[in-house]
Amino acid sequence: MLASEVIKRYEAFCPKELSLEGDSVGLQIGTLRKDIKKIMIALDVREQTVQEAIEKEVDLIIVKHAPIFRPIKNLCVDTPQNQMYSELIKHDIAVYVSHTNIDVLKGGLNDWFCDLLEIEVEGVLHETAPNEGIGRIGCVQPQTFEAFATKVKQIFGLDSLRMIAYENQAESIIERVAICGGSGDSFFRDAVVKQADVYITGDIYYHTAQDMLSEGLLALDPGHYIEVLFIEKLTAFFEEWKQEEEWDVEIVASQASTNPFSYL
């Protein structure tokens, strides 16, 4: 079957038009005008992902984070980044990116996070168009900040969790929670305006953390890699569509870890 048929079905579920302005989404490498036998769902395209795709004879990778995220000045293969592109092209592996559109999507990544954390969603955190936006805001059962942090750590299987709080705030009672997968600290003022007690997002900058606390907002930074949930969820969707559409294609979930962080 053609790769374009698979992507047409995916885009009916998660349109590119949902993505934030200037975002990199859609086909980045290769072509969709080709027959495919195997699709791999991945979070990132790194050296280990490419090697895995080659070994498994993958024809198409559907990924959340774009492999081309900075302007390319040349295609010389002397750099690791360009070497990855070269290997993908050499082995005719297409790469399709679904980035902020899967974050904005109703029933997408941020809603999956809310389901896991039992957050009763009331609306979007940062509106990008009427009735749609990135991040979510909602409520949980009243509990201490520390108890909620412990739950977040357990749910995402984290080795550690950064708590943005000053002394004696661990016992603060929280109920209203904002969440945005990935790097969402630029949206923290939306969380303040919408009266969140806690904001969950990754890659929180030092001075931004201080600003959050000055605004009366506690926060949790579980890291960027919790977005790995993308692999599990999309693999399940594609398996469902495969049965519905009677696709003659194999769906595989990437097993390569691309988390750059570990902890002592």
- Binding site as annotated, residues for a divalent metal cation: 65, 103, 224, 227
Binding residues: 65, 103, 224, 227
Q: What is the 3-state secondary structure (H, E, C) of the chain?
A: CEHHHHHHHHHHHCCHHHCCCCCCCEEEECCCCCECCEEEEECCCCHHHHHHHHHCCCCEEEECCCCCCCCCCCCCCCCHHHHHHHHHHHCCCEEEECCHHHHHCCCCHHHHHHHHHCCEEEEEEEEEECCEEEEEEEEEEEEEHHHHHHHHHHHCCCCCCEEECCCCCCCCEEEEEEEEEEECHHHHHHHHHCCCCEEEEECCCHHHHHHHHHCCCEEEECCHHHHHHHHHHHHHHHHHHHHHHCCCCEEEECCCCCCCCCCC
